Amino acid sequence: MTDFQLGRLQTFIREMFGHKDAARGVEGTFMWLAEEIGELATALREGSREELELEFADVTAWLVTLANVADVDLDEAMRKKYGGGCPDCGEPVCTCGREVKP
């Protein structure tokens, strides 16, 4: 079975920010994630390589934080969804047509 190793990242983020994250809750954490996605969108349009890297890191950290606050194990979620290949065709390399995966 595939090991995505996101659990290590979840533990790292939980240890660093868990006390603040729990107090903020799901709704507040989601709002921060949404803001970071907006900043990533701006960086994709007009940002430097460094800005892109920073915004991808922020979006990843906030997504992991949201999973922590919602008590979702990202490794398990990824294994369930993608551990057997493409969720639609089941192949390790997706063979779905563009009408299924644009």
CATH number (domain holding residue 48)? 1.10.287.1080
Domain-located, residue 14: yes
How many domains are contained in the chain?
1
Residue 2 three-state SS: coil
Model confidence band, residue 97 (pLDDT cutoffs 50, 70, 90): confident
Domain-located, residue 90: no
pLDDT digits (tens, 9 = 90+) for 13-22: 999 999 999 9
Beta carbons of 95 and 89 less than 8 angstroms apart: yes
Q: d(Cα 37, Cα 7) in Å, to the nearest integer?
A: 22
pLDDT of residue 102: 59
pLDDT digits (tens, 9 = 90+) for 52-96: 999 999 999 999 999 999 999 999 999 999 999 999 999 999 999
Domain-located, residue 87: no
Domain-located, residue 23: yes
SS (H, E, C) 67-96: HHHCCCCHHHHHHHHHCCCCCCCCCCCCCC
Domain-located, residue 51: yes
pLDDT higher than 60, residue 1 = no
State which residues form the domain around 14.
6-82
Domain-located, residue 19: yes
